[in-house]
Structure 1
């Protein structure tokens, strides 16, 4: 299995206004918007597409907001390996309408990790 990128997810406690403020603040550091679904916005480096950070008001389909996203080349293999290890699956493996297949798992530190693959 190959890791394609790791993205910290920052909970935008102030909602949409906090997301707008984050876009402006991190824009001063050179990060640019690469995705905005309304409930999650991702900023990235124009020179390195794997250098990203996301700001979330909530998660659209899951009961919790993940702390970190890890994109892998084979999410099904990752799911099986983590499930077989006895790790706590927080959100089941599923295809999402915005083009990813993902699940959430709790790491040994109690953090919720969004493990995903982009479809198609």
Structure 2
């Protein structure tokens, strides 16, 4: 299993202000679903940051997202390890398959793969 990118998720009600602020550092909007907006560096597209008012289909807002090449294998590894699954593996309408897991520090990690 390979990691494709890691994205911090900032819980925020100030998406527009965040877009403007991080735009001053060179970030550009690459995704906006209304409840989550992702900014990325044009020169290094995997350098990203997301701002979320709240997660659309999960009970909590994740602290970070980790995109992997095999989300099913990641889910199996986490379950086998006994890690706390916060949100079950499921396909989302916006084209990802994902689950949430709590890390040893109490942080919620959104582990995903694109379908």
SS of 2:15's equivalent? helix
- Equivalent residue for 1:114, pick from 78, 85, 110: 110
Runs of 4+ in 1 over 3 A off after TM superposition: none
Q: CA deviation at 1:49?
A: 0.9
Mapped pair 1:10 → 2:6: no
> Which residue does 2:95 correspond to in 1?
99
Q: CA deviation at 1:66?
A: 0.1
Normalization by structure 1: what TM-score?
Answer: 0.95
- Equivalent residue for 2:83, pick from 80, 84, 87: 87
SS of 2:45's equivalent? coil
Q: CA deviation at 1:96?
A: 0.1
> Which residue does 1:67 correspond to in 2?
63
Q: Deviations over 1:8-32 (max 9, x none)?
A: 00000xx2xx000000000000000
- Please give the alpha-carbon distance, in whole angstroms, between the structure 2 residues aligned to 1:2 and 1:96: 21
How many residue pairs are counted as aligned between the two chains?
Answer: 115
Cα RMSD (Å): 0.3
Q: Deviations over 1:34-86 (max 9, x none)?
A: 00000000000001111000000000000000000000000000000000000
Normalization by structure 2: what TM-score?
Answer: 0.99
- Please give the alpha-carbon distance, in whole angstroms, between the structure 1 residues aligned to 2:70 and 2:106: 24
> Which residue does 1:22 correspond to in 2?
18
